[in-house]
Chain A
Amino acid sequence: MSQENGATDLVQLEAVPALAGLYRRALLTTAARRVARKGAPSDLPAVRHRVGGVRVELPAITCFQHLLGSAARDQLPSAYLHTVAFPVAMSVLARPDFPLPLLGMVHLSNEVRQERQVGVSETLDVVAWSEALRPHPAGTQVDLMTEIAVDGERVWSGRSVYLARGIRAVGAPERSPVERPAFVPPVPTGLWRLDADLGRRYAAVSGDWNPLHLSGPSARLLGMKGAIAHGMYLAARMVDEAVPAPSGALSWRVDFATPVPLPGRVALSFASPTGEVAAAGSRVDVVGWDAKRRRPHFTGWVRAE
């Protein structure tokens, strides 16, 4: 997961930017773009944003772990590392020369490869960039890449795919929309009961105050029917419940299908695929869905080594 374009600028940030500020700035950019009705440019900025010497706060990490229902252990949850790096990635999206509007972008998937467990007291260096701007049947998608290193050694890397709905930045899609096979819910193994205030509580522990997640009115401003759960909350909980006590490398992927409304209930299936070779590490497949409407919210897998 590296991009060697030759002429890539490295932008050193003083500190991890505050997401609230980025969202405010993005809101203004969106408004300005609407007013100017400018056609979106078709090139991603050839930059990497980097923040060094990032430390996590113990009380904050404890709150994050407890909100997931996981144990307050001295290792950082894999999804928390994403949370630490996320504002740096967002600062790339919030650049005036970034071709897509940050607000209202839909989070499609995450794939993470973690080389080893990271302790709460380790000092992190975060670098983020965007790549692979490409058409999607519903608009334009882009990959947000983040890497976290400790003492110059990469410990965590993630690819988040985002969709800017209705925006044609790079021409029409090559293929017509693929017909999704009908969703057949698996045998449920669990149930998440998500409270109405979950979005605000997760925002408080993750710093991600995206209006989509905070309240009905703020979500409706961005075209949603109501508040929806943070994708990373669902992913973090999925990873933690699939592998509660990882000790080595960890890989996981989540694909988001439909948003999870708040308050809401998510039916869950955690299953180890049969026939999996044990030596390759244990893998857990996860599906989260709406039991009433019989439609998937997300699918994913977690593999511990």
Chain B
Amino acid sequence: MANQAGAQNAAQSPRTAVVIGGNRIPFARAGGAYAYSSNRDMLIAALDGLVARFGLQGERIGEVAAGAVLKHSRDFNLTREAVLGSALSPETPAYDLQQACATGLETVVGLSNKIRLGQIESGIAGGVDSASDAPIAVSEGLRRVLLDLSRAKTTQQKIRILSTLRPKDLSPNAPGTGEPRTGLSMGEHQAITTAAWQITREAQDELAYRSHQNLAAAYDRGFFADLLTPYRGLVRDANLRADTSPEKLATLKPVFGKGLDSPATMTAGNSTPLTDGAAVVLLGSEDYARANNLPMLANVVDAEAAAVDFVQGDEGLLMAPVHALPRLLKRNGLTFADFDFFEIHEAFAGTVLSSLAAWEDEEYCRRVLGLDGALGSIDRSKLNVNGSSLAAGHPFAATGGRIVASLAKTLSEQGGRGLISVCAAGGQGVVAILEARN
């Protein structure tokens, strides 16, 4: 029954979009190996690795879509500039997309849809972010003075404008992690949600530990050999701690939620660090893949975005995927039982565990999600089997590309169906389904 509905949905789609492969550079901790590499540098490094892997030198790709969350104003055309600096044909069109941490996944969704509609045959989706090379802007006061100065005609006008400048105007503005509407940092928002769902410190540390274990194991068995190109001396993710343990994680001091009534549980170990990196995914139609003798790892089946009202306190900032998922499952006639792999982005261990708890909570699923009962439980052995952001790090816009490429490869090796869930700032989230081809 479930599969029938899924097949019906697929039948409405004229074509299939497939994941051909992916490439990323190892993720570095902010201020580390990529401290002086720009977003453009890293995106080009990821693109050129992909070009080399799939023999795309000089090829005109249907479209390249990528983005960055922390972006310099000079990088308005970041993706197109990266294409021009890459080994792809300069006749490859490109566009920038920005949906906070969902950027990377959304580029995959958008280009897959174009492929399914027959608008393009091939596409490269992805994202990049540098927390090290972050833009710093002049203060609002100085900016206003400089703009007025550029319009002033007489010396008198210029002197009058300059006289309005105050010493405090000379201090620059660095990007913050606060939500513009609430002033709370993402970590503080998640701390509220983590406490509301009564997620324990132990459960969060355990999830972080498993993330490191799974990522280390994936490296050890060579899983990333054809998903990753070394860059600037890094050959694996700098944040990975293969030797960490729940005991070590338990020694870390809480950093978020210290002002709440309940004990603070979120530490640097069970939260993602600021990270630099880039990831891209090669997508194509089946015809394109066959004509170019390229592998087809998995089909991009469907996706759903959601947003929640976190401003009035109704819902947690990072809970939008919780809302998106039941809608996506219903449209495709699927349940959790139909999935073999779950990729739930670990912005914080608390985010993953709050989501799982919400889907298991009958009262919440009825009242908030409008379901008949609990959505269900996820078998932990199917969750983030090759590690996720707590271990790899999380260069915001690059995370979607990392997850899609890893999941597609897992599906090509083991078969089955996979679910991706990515939360994002602004109370948004995107979820997607990938399916093995056999």
A residues apposed to B, CB below 8 Å: 58-59, 62-63, 65-66, 70-74, 120-121, 244-245, 247
| Complex-state Cα separation, A63 to B37, whole angstroms | 10
| Complex-state Cα separation, A4 to B394, whole angstroms | 57
CB distance from A287 to the nearest CB of B (A): 20
| Complex-state Cα separation, A247 to B82, whole angstroms | 16
Contact B230 A59 (CB under 8 A): no
Residues in B whose Cβ lies below 8 Å from that of A73: 41, 44-45, 48
A63's closest neighbor in chain B, by CB? B36
Query: In B225-257, which residues have CB < 8 Å from any A CB?
Result: 230-233
Q: Mark B196-236, 1 if CB is under 8 A from A, else 0.
A: 00000000000000000000000000000000001111000
B230's closest neighbor in chain A, by CB? A74
Most buried by A among B51, B84, B85: B85
Contact A244 B232 (CB under 8 A): no
- Let me know if B260 is at the binding interface, CB within 8 A: no
| Complex-state Cα separation, A72 to B41, whole angstroms | 5
Query: In B1-56, which residues have CB < 8 Å from any A CB?
Result: 36-38, 40-41, 44-45, 48, 51-52
- Let me know if B356 is at the binding interface, CB within 8 A: no
| Complex-state Cα separation, A65 to B232, whole angstroms | 13
- Let me know if B57 is at the binding interface, CB within 8 A: yes
Given contacts A58-B233, A71-B44, A245-B85, 4 further A-B contacts (CB under 8 A): A72-B45, A120-B233, A121-B233, A244-B84
Contact A74 B86 (CB under 8 A): no
- Let me know if B87 is at the binding interface, CB within 8 A: yes
| Complex-state Cα separation, A300 to B40, whole angstroms | 27
Residues in A whose Cβ lies below 8 Å from that of B82: 71
CB distance from B318 to the nearest CB of A (A): 33
Contacts known (A73-B41, A73-B48); A247 close to B57, Cβ less than 8 A: yes
Residues in A whose Cβ lies below 8 Å from that of B87: 245, 247
Query: In B333-367, which residues have CB < 8 Å from any A CB?
Result: none
* 9 A-B contacts (beta carbon < 8 Å): A58-B232, A62-B36, A62-B37, A66-B38, A71-B40, A71-B85, A73-B41, A244-B86, A247-B87
Contact A247 B52 (CB under 8 A): yes
Contact B45 A74 (CB under 8 A): yes
B49's closest neighbor in chain A, by CB? A74
CB distance from B86 to the nearest CB of A (A): 5
Contact B52 A72 (CB under 8 A): no
Contact B57 A72 (CB under 8 A): no
Residues in A whose Cβ lies below 8 Å from that of B230: 74
B87's closest neighbor in chain A, by CB? A245
Contact A70 B37 (CB under 8 A): no
A248's closest neighbor in chain B, by CB? B57
| Complex-state Cα separation, A72 to B40, whole angstroms | 9
| Complex-state Cα separation, A257 to B13, whole angstroms | 62
| Complex-state Cα separation, A91 to B233, whole angstroms | 31
In the complex, the 6 A-B pairs of residues with the closest C-beta atoms, listed nearest first: A245-B87, A72-B41, A71-B44, A71-B85, A62-B36, A244-B85
Residues in B whose Cβ lies below 8 Å from that of A59: 36
| Complex-state Cα separation, A120 to B85, whole angstroms | 18
CB distance from A162 to the nearest CB of B (A): 33
CB distance from B72 to the nearest CB of A (A): 13
| Complex-state Cα separation, A249 to B9, whole angstroms | 50
Contact A245 B86 (CB under 8 A): yes
Q: Mark B403-414, 1 if CB is under 8 A from A, else 0.
A: 000000000000
Residues in B whose Cβ lies below 8 Å from that of A74: 45, 230-232
Contact A72 B38 (CB under 8 A): yes
B34's closest neighbor in chain A, by CB? A72
Residues in B whose Cβ lies below 8 Å from that of A247: 52, 57, 87
CB distance from B388 to the nearest CB of A (A): 26
| Complex-state Cα separation, A71 to B46, whole angstroms | 12
B45's closest neighbor in chain A, by CB? A73
| Complex-state Cα separation, A73 to B233, whole angstroms | 11
Residues in A whose Cβ lies below 8 Å from that of B48: 73, 245
Residues in A whose Cβ lies below 8 Å from that of B38: 66, 72
CB distance from B13 to the nearest CB of A (A): 35
B35's closest neighbor in chain A, by CB? A59
| Complex-state Cα separation, A34 to B159, whole angstroms | 55
B229's closest neighbor in chain A, by CB? A74
| Complex-state Cα separation, A11 to B57, whole angstroms | 42
| Complex-state Cα separation, A192 to B86, whole angstroms | 21
Residues in A whose Cβ lies below 8 Å from that of B41: 65, 71-73
| Complex-state Cα separation, A62 to B232, whole angstroms | 9
CB distance from B160 to the nearest CB of A (A): 30
| Complex-state Cα separation, A63 to B233, whole angstroms | 16
Residues in B whose Cβ lies below 8 Å from that of A120: 232-233
Residues in A whose Cβ lies below 8 Å from that of B231: 74
| Complex-state Cα separation, A74 to B45, whole angstroms | 8
| Complex-state Cα separation, A150 to B44, whole angstroms | 26
| Complex-state Cα separation, A66 to B232, whole angstroms | 14
Q: Mark B79-112, 1 if CB is under 8 A from A, else 0.
A: 0001011110000000000000000000000000
| Complex-state Cα separation, A42 to B19, whole angstroms | 67
| Complex-state Cα separation, A72 to B230, whole angstroms | 13
CB distance from B132 to the nearest CB of A (A): 12
CB distance from B286 to the nearest CB of A (A): 28
B43's closest neighbor in chain A, by CB? A71
| Complex-state Cα separation, A247 to B233, whole angstroms | 19
Contact A72 B36 (CB under 8 A): yes
| Complex-state Cα separation, A74 to B82, whole angstroms | 15
Contact B36 A245 (CB under 8 A): no
| Complex-state Cα separation, A267 to B44, whole angstroms | 27
Residues in B whose Cβ lies below 8 Å from that of A65: 41
CB distance from B87 to the nearest CB of A (A): 4
| Complex-state Cα separation, A120 to B233, whole angstroms | 9
